[in-house]
Amino acid sequence: MNRIVVAKRLLLIVTGGFLLGAVMTSCVPASQPVRTASAVTYADGAAYRTFTEPLPKVASAAMKAFDSMGIKVRGDERNDRWETIRGEAAYVQIQVQLEALSARSTRMQVVAREGMFSKDQATATEIILQTENALNGELALR
């Protein structure tokens, strides 16, 4: 083989190695645990998530989430099918509605209001994520 063919092949191998390394490097964070809100949906400024846990367990986890976030509980109403927890943090009014869909699943709706018209989806999402953490036992470790 002449030198030009060998040089082209070597360049192709080296370039392929760099490309493969770049692709694999960008995949490493994807394998790490990442907090996402992929299971959270939004409608009319409210954040929703359904948990495969009974209502009392989700309600307890939501209270732990309020506590871990420094949200003051301002009210709690319940019956056998639903529970509403109201809270306040600084100037944000928070309402969590839990509805038993079955004996083993609960839908959570969170609305965080700033004033009359503005809704804070970031805070609503964080309450859902912290509730999930509490259900997974992570808040108990703090």
Q: Which two tokens stand for residue 55?
A: 């209502």
**Domain 41-141, CATH 3.30.160.110 — does that match?**
yes
Query: Does residue 46 register a pLDDT over 90?
Result: yes
Domain positions in the chain: 1-34, 41-141
Give tens-digit pLDDT for 95-131: 999 999 999 999 999 999 998 889 999 999 999 999 9
Least confident of 11-25, 106-120, 127-141: 11-25
Which residues lie closer than 8 Å to 119 by C-beta, 6 or more apart?
Answer: 45, 46, 111, 112, 113
List the structure tokens of 106. Answer: 């609960």
Q: What's residue 26's pLDDT?
A: 52
Give the Å distances, CA to CA, from 1 to 7, 10, 13.
10, 13, 17
Cα Rg for the chain, rounded, in angstroms? 24
The reported pTM is 0.70
**Tens of pLDDT along 52-111?**
999 999 999 999 999 999 999 999 999 989 999 999 998 999 999 999 999 999 999 999
